[in-house]
Amino acid sequence: MTHPTRNPDALSAFNAYEPAYVSLETDEDGVIPESLAATLASGGVKFIYLAPTLQNPTGRTIPLDRRKEIARIIQRHDALLVEDDPYGALRYRGEDLPPIQTFAPENVVYASTLSKVFAPGLRIGFCTAPEAIRRWLVRVKQGTDLHTSTFNQALAAEYLSGGHLQRRLPKILDLYRPRQAAMLDALDRYFPKTFRWSRPDGGMFIWVEGPRGMDMAWVYRAAVERNVAFVPGKFFYAREGKGIETMRLNFTMAGEAALDDAVRTLASAVSACSRGREEDRRRNPASWAA
């Protein structure tokens, strides 16, 4: 089964250049190395984009051995990987893992952000890159916006050097960890057994897969009528028609009681859509037979 390996923001950033996307095969441990090797062997790949740690939208993390294997493959093909890591600091369980960049520094541009651990409105991110690419990135950035707001950079510098991140991060984790647990409990309690969902070690999201053919765009409409929203998973796929039965739930923005209510409400939207589908199937058997 193919799972998403990208997020809508990255897709919209890439779309401006009208790329031809090639989706990699993934499993519960992220991208499958053989799929990466085969894609690179077929040639013509400008770069690979991965979010290997607590990925948006699935919450998956690529384990250590697979990271090393991916590093070996990109080195063998002299390929370039963009390693996007906005969620690595939001780990509630388990060990931190080294970025893939550690194992192939000359083949990886590693990028992260202060958006998840300070403030998204600051628009401060950072990257490390092989020297030749770093020089180009500086030029392109200057050509794009001259420079990032110096006021915002000063705030970020104080946040980092003044020890604020170290003090705040445990508080952020203590806030989000029980929210994730509450959402997972509520899914166990209210969602039909025909659904599956991820149990990530951190991040902001839970990835839910419904039964084949259930279009989450219908569920979305029914949920919004009930004042609950989520992101239909199809927006995380490069190819149209993929992931219609999936959804991404965010657990960071509400308290535990509200999350329990929201998931119960979402489950009622799901059952309303399932009933609607069954009724339609009974009334129009011919259109369902196709």
Q: Give dist(CA 95, CA 207) in Å, integer.
A: 21
Distance, C-alpha 133 to centroid of its chain: 25
Total of chain residues touching ligand PLP, rule CB under 6 A: 11
Q: Considering the rule CB under 6 A, would residue 83 count as an interface residue with ligand PLP?
A: no
Q: Is 8 a binder of ligand PLP (CB under 6 A)?
A: no
Give the x/- contact pattern for ligand PLP in 193-222, rule: CB under 6 A: ------------------------------
Among 2, 75, 115, 268, indicate the residue that binds ligand PLP (CB under 6 A): 115
Q: What's the rounded Cα separation, in Å, for the pair 156 and 131?
A: 24
Decide if 280 contacts 288 (C-beta within 8 A).
yes
Q: Nearest 5 degrees, angle CA 136-CA 142-CA 147?
A: 130
Interface map 21-60 toward ligand PLP (x if CB under 6 A)? ------------------------------x----x----
With respect to ligand PLP, which residue has the nearer C-beta, 9 or 158?
A: 9
152 in contact with ligand PLP (CB under 6 A): no
Three-class SS of residue 99? coil
Closest separation between CB of residue 58 and ligand PLP, Å?
A: 11
The only residue of 53, 113, 180, 250 in contact with ligand PLP, by rule CB under 6 A: 113
In the chain, count H helices and then E strands.
9, 10
179's CB contacts (< 8 A; 6+ apart) are: 251, 252, 254, 255, 256, 259
- Pairing, β 196-197 against β 205-209: antiparallel
Rounded distance between C-alpha atoms, residue 60 and residue 49, angstroms: 15
Binding range to ligand PLP, per CB under 6 A, among 3-11, 139-147, 225-233, 260-268:
3-11
Out of 4, 59, 86, 99, the residue judged to bind ligand PLP by CB under 6 A? 86
- Beta strand pairing call for 48-50 and 30-31: unpaired
Q: Does 9 bind ligand PLP (CB under 6 A)?
A: yes
Question: Is the separation of the CB atoms in 60 and 29 below 8 Å?
Answer: yes
Q: Does 120 bind ligand PLP (CB under 6 A)?
A: yes
Q: Is 101 in the site for ligand PLP (CB under 6 A)?
A: no
Choices 29-37, 112-120, 137-145, 164-172 (CB under 6 A): range interacting with ligand PLP = 112-120
Q: Please say which residue, 42 or 150, places its beta carbon nearer to ligand PLP.
A: 150
3-class DSSP state of 169: helix
Coil/strand/helix, residue 206: strand
Q: Based on the shown chain and the rule CB under 6 A, indicate whether residue 5 belongs to the binding site for ligand PLP.
A: no
Whichever of 3 and 218 has its CB closer to ligand PLP, that residue is 3
Q: How far is the CB of 188 from ligand PLP (least distance, A)?
A: 26
